Amino acid sequence: MVEAGMETSRINDPRTPPSTPPAGCDVVTVPARQGLEAVDILRRGTGEAVGPVLHDDGGGTLGFLVPPGTAAAWDVPGSTCTETDGRGLPLAPEPPMEGSDWLLPPGEADLATDPAMLREALGEAARTIEAADSCR
């Protein structure tokens, strides 16, 4: 979002590294297969369309960090969006939850994933998976 010539999608606090997503990001959780496909779709785009992504090995899910407030309007079937309010979600090289790991860690992924772009990518991923499964 651009306002008065300033980029407002990043934190402008000089003490916060520019590669750190906003604190308190919400998390969109999807099945790993659909999430991996969505990551590929997003990375084929502008390259900056996907933010940090967590992989939960035990649960077979991916968690996309999205801007705070996304959970209030998230309505994509087959996924959930959890509001974190910044509680216990450190954006550091170490994964924030035991049994998880960063697929795209903070620092490699600049901003939280844009929810509209994620919604489109998840839809395309679902269609791609459905088409692939119907060919078997």
Q: Is residue 51's pLDDT more than 80? A: yes
pLDDT value of residue 87: 56
Number of H helices, E strands in the chain: 2, 7
Q: What is the pTM of this model?
A: 0.75
pLDDT digits (tens, 9 = 90+) for 69-121: 899 999 999 999 998 765 545 555 555 556 678 888 887 665 789 999 999 99
Among 132, 124, 127, 133, CA closest to 40 = 124
* pLDDT band at 57; cut points 50, 70, 90: confident
**62-77 pLDDT, tens per residue?**
999 999 889 999 999 9
